Structure 1
Amino acid sequence: MIVSTMNDLPGYEVTEVLGDVFGLTVLVRTPSSQIEAGLRTFFGGGEARGLSKELHDGRLEARRRLIEAAEELGADAVLAMRFETSELRDNGLEICAYGTAVKARRRAS
């Protein structure tokens, strides 16, 4: 499955647009990552590595679910893929990967 943030694929022809697809995941921040982020804020500077890892893993999961949704439609690629993150309540995050599922074929040389 080709996943691209571009609106087209160089060397490919889009033959059919199958529709929008998305993958969604919700993260609940662990107490340890919240404490780490709070300490970093209080004492200043530095990366909250625990929270960064949770966000990274959440994006990978949302992307994996996006690909599954596209495969269910029979897509060859997802174009214009984006991430959107929203805060949920006090300690949760919604991460959504979305794009357009398409059928595509490689152009003849």
Structure 2
Amino acid sequence: MSDMIVITSEHIAGYKITETLGNVFGQTTRSRNIISDIGQGLKSIVGGEIKGYTRLQYDARQEAVNRMRDTAEQLGADAIVMFRFDTTSGQLGESVAAYGTAVKIEKL
């Protein structure tokens, strides 16, 4: 993976945007496993973090970002600005969409 800049703002300090290439997305849906479901049931009684779900969320976010970066690289982008996540949890698992605007940049 390249050193592509991925940022939530519309400006990148020390760079100027020279070309806007378009919207890029990365999506994934990860399913839960029975062990995590049992753990969630127990944790809901006593409270505390459900580490299996935390890991599931982390992995889903990373995969969505990687797919978004791959799409931007295919367009020839140097960076992604206005980066955001959408996350949905359901009975089937965790769905994550990462999105932003692919751009070309150059140092000031």
Does the CA contact (< 8 Å) of 2:24 and 2:71 recur in 1? yes
Letter in 1 for 2:24: V
Q: Which residue of 1 aligns with 2:70?
A: 68
Letter in 1 for 2:85: F
C-alpha distance in 2 between matches for 1:16 and 1:4: 16
How far apart are 1:96 and its partner, in Å?
0.6
How far apart are 1:49 and its partner, in Å?
0.4
The percentage of aligned residue pairs carrying the same residue is 44
Q: Which 4+ stretches in 1 moved above 2 angstroms?
A: none
How far apart are 1:91 and its partner, in Å?
2.4
How far apart are 1:87 and its partner, in Å?
3.1
Confirm or deny that 1:20 pairs with 2:16.
no
Query: C-alpha offsets along residues 61-108 of structure 1, whole Å, 9 cap, x if unaligned?
Result: 1100010000000000000111111234x222211110000000010x
Q: Which residue of 2 aligns with 1:53?
A: 55
Q: Which residue of 1 aligns with 2:79?
A: 77
- After superposition, the CA RMSD in angstroms is 1.0
Letter in 1 for 2:7: S
C-alpha distance in 1 between matches for 2:39 and 2:70: 34
Structure 2, gaps ≥5 residues long = none
Q: Aligned pair count?
A: 105
